[in-house]
Amino acid sequence: MITLMRPVADSLGDCELSYVGRTRIDVARARAQHAGYASALTALGCQLEWLAALPEHPDGVFVEDTAVVVPEVAVITRPGAASRRGEVDSTAAALARHLSVTRITEPATIEGGDVLRIGRRLFVGGSARSNAQGVAQLAEALAPFGYTVRAVAMRDCLHLKSAATFIAPDTVLANPDWVDPAEFGCARVIGVAREEPFGANTLTVGGVTLVSTEYPRTQRLLERAGVETRALDISELHKAEAALTCLSVVVGE
């Protein structure tokens, strides 16, 4: 599967932050961790395509927020953070080589990190970054292909996928303090370890679920439930309020 990524900018330390305090980011270390992430995706069968570097956009490495992709179409977002709206054009150009592309337009806002897809159902977190018009425009764009889209309540975190991620075929990993996992209608719910509130963000590729090394207790809960996992160190990127799904856009899954 094709996977879009973007290099880490020297300006990463100037990133947007909402729920974590600002601390110094070692950009060289962040780049090394980003390279490890890329290597892990390649080993799991992903074909990486690199988007152009955007040195003026500290958050540009978090490409997930710039698009919502399903097998039939790519929807280019309009980020709720105004500082990030200059990131979307390069994502759109790359995706147009593989899929038809449509765009979310003003006054709507939506970010990919708020969109959780489970089959032909998409859930959008009611965050500060995604508004009701964004949900409506996404629903309109995807309805011709048989997808449903609805908003879900969330709290105390930046994006919906900070609170919950889906592990095929029937599992949702969630922090129930931030979102009600019953919203997703999955057969099995696994709650994050209480000591690891940010542990719900995982990325499943090729049947393997990637978990941050910062959340070993949550990883053990997944393993006990029969989920095959692999730990990746993205600790420096966590300082930028990032997680595993943020760093890529998967096409063709």
Q: pLDDT tens, 189-235?
A: 999 999 999 999 999 999 999 999 999 999 999 999 999 999 999 99
Query: What pLDDT is stored for residue 252 in this prediction?
Result: 79
- How far apart are alpha carbons 84 and 198 in whole angstroms? 23
Domain ranges within the chain, ordered by starting residue: 2-251
Between the two ends of the chain, the Cα-to-Cα distance in Å is 7
Those residues whose C-beta lies under 8 Å from the C-beta of residue 245, and which sit 6 or more positions away, are: 64, 113, 161, 165, 201, 202, 203
- Cβ neighbours around 52 below 10 Å, total: 12
CATH topology of domain 2-251: L-arginine/glycine Amidinotransferase; Chain A (3.75.10)
The pLDDT > 90 percentage for the chain reads: 99
- Mean pLDDT taken over the chain: 97
Q: State pLDDT tens for residues 27-54.
A: 999 999 999 999 999 999 999 999 999 9
pTM of the model as a whole: 0.97
Q: Residue 162 in 3-state DSSP?
A: helix
Which residue in the block uniquely carries the two structure tokens 């889906």? 166
- How far apart are alpha carbons 223 and 237 in whole angstroms? 24
Query: Which tokens in the block code for residue 142?
Result: 């995807």
Q: Is the pLDDT of residue 119 over 70?
A: yes
User: What residues are labeled active site?
Assistant: 159, 246
Write the DSSP string, 105-135. -TT--B-GGGEEEETTEEEEE--SS--HHHH
- How far apart are alpha carbons 173 and 218 in whole angstroms? 9
